[in-house]
Amino acid sequence: MTDATLNTMEKPRNQWWDVWDQFKTHKGAVAGLVFLIFITLFVTIGPIIWDVDPGKLNIRNKNLRPIYMALFDSEAKTAWANPMGTDNLGRDIMANIMQGGRISLAVGWTAMILSVFLGTLIGVLAGYFKRLDGLLMRFTDLVLALPLLPLLLVMMLLFRDPLRAAFGPENGIFILIVVGIGITSWMQTARIVRGDVMALKEREFVLAARSIGTPSRRMITRHLLPNVLSPILVSATLGLATAIITESALSFLGLGFPSDFPTWGKILFDSVDRMTQFPERVLWPGLAISLTVLSVNYIGDGLRDALDPRIRGQ
Amino acid sequence: MKLKTALLSAVATVALAPMAFADGHEGERGRDGQLNIIYWQAPSILNPYLSGGTKDIEASSLILEPLARYDQTGAKVAYLAEEIPTVSNGGVSEDLTSITWKLKEGLLWSDGTPVTSADVVFTAEYCMDPEGGCAQLSKFEGVETVEALDDLTVKVTFSGPQPNPYGPFMGGQSPILQATQFADCMGAKAPECTDANFGPIGTGPFVVTEFRTNDVIQLVANDNYRDASKPAFATVTFKGGGDATAAGRSVLETGEFDYAWNLQLAPDVIASMAEAGVGTPVSAFGTLVERLEMNLTDPSPSLEEGVRSTAEAPHPFLSDEAVRRALSMAIDRDLLVEVGYGQAGRPTCNLVPGPEIYASTENTGCLVQDIEGAKALLDGAGWVDSNGDGIREKDGVELRILYQTSTNAVRQDFQALIKEWWGEIGVETELRNIDASVFFGGDPGSPDTFQRFYADVEMYANNFDGTDPQAYLSMYSCDKAPRPDTQWQGENINRYCDPAYDALLVELGATADQAERSRIAIQLNDMLTKDSMTIVPLVDRGRVSAHANSLGGVVLNTWDSELWNAADWYRIGDNR
């Protein structure tokens, strides 16, 4: 009996190992994580190995089918040099999907981080400090009422030229889009976080912490934030999906990146016209978008279970 | 005298060459049975004076006829008139204020009554009635009086000199109505005459037997048509409605219909339909030209508003003609046509690609891509890449172009191709596409409109109405440049300004002689395109229709109704 007690005392386990153990039991989450790592490596390391310029036109090799089409249809125009085929101007589709993924993922992550940061900050402040509550929540309502597209149109008008001059056409638009999506999608997170913080504030452990004189800063970081992590993660995963999709819609309307700058959404939209003849051109970017969004959602699901001490260990 | 006759008949043979085939199919009226026509927009009325819709004007052209029509080259052909009045034959007065038309003798309406000058006068009164809302009133612009000199002669007098007096009674938009049928339909009562509007009595090859609004028209051959051997078809079913794809299929794939109008479909879609071998797509070209506009003023954002993109600040490098010319030389227009328009496009170097009498046939220099020549031209003009970054420069100015257009799949393909070619000659291009409703919206507050032109190069298409390019060419006079004090409105997008051009425009406005007008118009076109490369035309965009392989005599015409020569159509082969 004593030995057993000693054993547990000897090995104090880091709580993140428990989280990881719980996370591993969620099959969907593990599969999602594997896919996310794969797609990230595909778009970051991929272009280094597959060294083809995505913007390079090759009219003679236009409309090539993916290499697997040769299995079903010996007539199909295929080439090993373009394993996923080429588009109607002879641009390599694989290189475009890699390059497009870089942009889409970068926009998605950056915009999501920005919106989660803003949402959490405003939600916690509104929930914890009573004086700020009314002001911040009315501000949230105000931003919620702003329509995204006209707002981005105005932002384009005002800031496109200065940003283009300061950071170049691609980076300027990148900053504009990320900021545009970020500052228009934090409101849901803020509302959820505020509600949870207000409920937690009345719990006994918070009262206990306050009674020993814990300052507000420590109170928020030590006691409140870890407990609202799961709703934040869930809204973060949803935010990533929305950001990728919003960026696609913007590019299509001509408000996004220049037309020679591929993103998954834009490849998808460009291919819709010839969908019946070349289904693969819609399929691949469409799969990439949906699988990325799905895997991030599963990871969020798994994380929520793993981070909840009541579920963990059951 | 004999020589003259021989020459005349030679001319006539050349003129009638397209008809020569039809001549082999002469015979009695109605010999070829049934003709089926499909328009994917359904006609809702058969009186072109009460509708601006192309579908209504074209459907009514089977029944109603004007004094003269435009043929497929844009030249005028007499229909009900004896001949085309001109200054040289005395039909148009020397001071260009009046035109006198003479009707053919012995013309009959489909009800058997004679056609007289009273009908022509009535038609003018009908349209110009102040209480009526005539859809074709613009055709009668400047008309002071229309009077009958005798039973067959009509004189139209204008309030001022009219170098182009062929507005009234010319083309499918302005046919002659029967005075007795429409006598009670003047002014505000015009839309109430349902019977007359749905079944006008005409002089054309066919007569309406049944008209179902927005659906089907049944017609039979006109017994009183002036040529006893025409039309070849006894009955016509004119079906309306559906969409362009369905109409295309019904002619090209299933063969249910003989003629389908205006197939606005992607070139590969039409080509895959035509593979069925039942019908043939035909195309004809009007005046719609996809072009690059070069900005002659500086659109740099570092300039203050009011100076940016105005004549005060000339463009740092596009004001150099060598650069503009090199940019044009680098473009392979054949490839652009193949990628974007297929049969519905052809490469062009002209701003005014038609009608033939106004087209500058000499201007073909841009049709061949010449990358090496472009490089040499830039080298010669002092634009060289001295710092090794792949972009040419001169006096510290680098050839970096912002190239904008509206959002449209074909235009973005064009942008990608042109960017690549310009990259080859050492010019860096940044692409921008703007939503079409903003780009063409004309909002003076928006910096993204095509008039504002806050870019170096932009691409879009434009055309002109009718066959006379005078108004179109006058868009490029100095005073039409968009600028802050015109609220950024104006058609001179490039801010082109040449006193010689303006002087020539004034001359065009005072010239009536056709040959002289053509010469001046061609010269104006050349000044804008091959001489200065201010406008770099890319593709002449046409219209595609389709007819069954068994239907002969079809001549697609973009200057008048597509059914303008339906009287000459016939059935090929034995399947009558």
pLDDT of residue B349: 93
d(CA B44, CA B240): 9
Could you tell me if A304 and A230 are in contact, meaning their C-beta atoms sit under 8 angstroms apart? yes
Could you tell me if A225 and A124 are in contact, meaning their C-beta atoms sit under 8 angstroms apart? yes
CA A113, A119, A125, A127 torsion: positive or negative? negative
Spatial CB neighbours of A294, under 8 Å, sequence gap ≥ 6: A32
> What mean pLDDT is predicted for residues B347-366?
88
Q: Are strands B345-347 and B535-548 parallel, antiparallel or unpaired?
A: antiparallel
Name the pTM for this structure. Answer: 0.74
Cβ pair B435:A253 closer than 8 A: yes
Eight-state DSSP code of residue B455: S
Binned at pLDDT 50, 70 and 90, residue A11 comes out as low
Quote the tokens at residue B38: 């499909």
Cβ pair B433:A165 closer than 8 A: no
* Structural domain span for residue A249: 17-49+92-306
pLDDT of residue B323: 94
The nearest alpha carbon in chain A to B299 belongs to A161
Whether residue A70 is contained in a domain is answered as no
Whether residue A63 is contained in a domain is answered as no
Whether residue A10 is contained in a domain is answered as no
Q: What is the ipTM, given to two decimal places?
A: 0.75
pLDDT digits (tens, 9 = 90+) for B24-62: 567 788 888 899 999 988 888 899 888 777 788 889 999
Eight-state DSSP code of residue A87: -
pLDDT digits (tens, 9 = 90+) for B261-293: 888 777 877 888 888 889 999 988 888 899 999
CB contact residues (below 8 A), chain A span 209-268, against chain B: 252-255, 258-260
CB contact residues (below 8 A), chain A span 85-144, against chain B: 88-89, 91
Query: How close is the nearest chain A Cα to the Cα of B268, in Å?
Result: 10
Cβ pair B417:A89 closer than 8 A: yes
Whether residue A6 is contained in a domain is answered as no
Pick the closest to residue B455 from B426, B494, B492, B419 (CA basis): B494
DSSP-derived 3-state class of residue A124: helix
**Would an 8 Å CB–CB cutoff place A277 in contact with chain B?**
yes
Cβ pair A260:B447 closer than 8 A: no
Q: Smallest Cβ distance to A270: which of B302, B409, B419?
A: B409
Spatial CB neighbours of B390, under 8 Å, sequence gap ≥ 6: B423, B426, B428
pLDDT of residue A278: 85
- List residues of chain B with CB under 8 Å from any CB of chain A: 266, 268, 301-302, 335, 339, 406-407, 409, 412-413, 415-417, 419-420, 430-435, 446-448
The distance of Cα B441 from the centroid of its chain, to the nearest Å, equals 23
Query: How close is the nearest chain A Cα to the Cα of B414, in Å?
Result: 10
Dihedral through CA B237, CA B240, CA B242, CA B244, nearest 10?
90
Mutate to test the interface with B, among A89, A154, A176 (most CBs of B within 10 A): A89
Q: What is the CATH number of the domain that holds A108?
A: 1.10.3720.10
Residues of A in contact with B430 (CB under 8 A): 169, 258
State how many domains chain A has. Answer: 1
Burial of B380 (0-12, 13-18, 19+ CB in 10 A): exposed
Whether residue A1 is contained in a domain is answered as no
d(CA A38, CA A201): 41
Binned at pLDDT 50, 70 and 90, residue B16 comes out as very low
Per-residue pLDDT for B405 more than 80?
yes
Residues of A in contact with B401 (CB under 8 A): none
Whether residue A27 is contained in a domain is answered as yes
Query: How close is the nearest chain B Cα to the Cα of A260, in Å?
Result: 6
Eight-state DSSP code of residue A83: T
Whether residue A274 is contained in a domain is answered as yes
Cβ pair A277:B416 closer than 8 A: no
Residue B30 — left, alpha, or beta (φ > 0 → left; ψ -120 to 50 → alpha)? left
Q: Measured between alpha carbons, how far is residue B144 from residues B15, B93, B160, B161 in Å?
A: 35, 15, 9, 12
The nearest alpha carbon in chain B to A59 belongs to B335
pLDDT of residue B5: 52
Cβ pair B431:A255 closer than 8 A: no
Q: Measured between alpha carbons, how far is residue B448 from residues A17, B303, B453 in Å?
A: 55, 16, 7
Q: Smallest Cβ distance to A273: which of B266, B335, B420?
A: B266
Helix locations, A168-278, DSSP H: 169-182, 187-201, 204-211, 216-218, 225-252, 264-271
The nearest alpha carbon in chain B to A251 belongs to B433
Per-residue pLDDT for A194 more than 90?
yes
Mutate to test the interface with A, among B413, B415, B417, B428 (most CBs of A within 10 A): B413
Mean pLDDT of chain B: 86
Per-residue pLDDT for A153 more than 90?
no
Quote the tokens at residue B383: 């634009």
Cβ pair B407:A270 closer than 8 A: no
d(CA B44, CA B53): 9
Q: Smallest Cβ distance to A254: which of B413, B417, B434?
A: B434
Eight-state DSSP code of residue A311: T
pLDDT of residue B22: 44
Percent of chain B with pLDDT over 70: 95
Per-residue pLDDT for B326 more than 90?
yes
Q: Smallest Cβ distance to B431: which of A164, A165, A259?
A: A259
- List phi, psi (to 5°) of B273: -65, -40
d(CA A83, CA A95): 10
d(CA B158, CA A53): 64
> What mean pLDDT is predicted for residues B133-139?
79
Length of chain B counted residue by residue = 576
Could you tell me if A125 and A201 are in contact, meaning their C-beta atoms sit under 8 angstroms apart? no
Quote the tokens at residue A52: 């083809």
Whether residue A186 is contained in a domain is answered as yes
The nearest alpha carbon in chain B to A158 belongs to B447
d(CA A118, CA B498): 57
**Would an 8 Å CB–CB cutoff place A279 in contact with chain B?**
no
Cβ pair A258:B431 closer than 8 A: yes
Cβ pair B413:A169 closer than 8 A: no
Q: Are strands B235-240 and B34-39 parallel, antiparallel or unpaired?
A: parallel
Query: How close is the nearest chain A Cα to the Cα of B91, in Å?
Result: 54
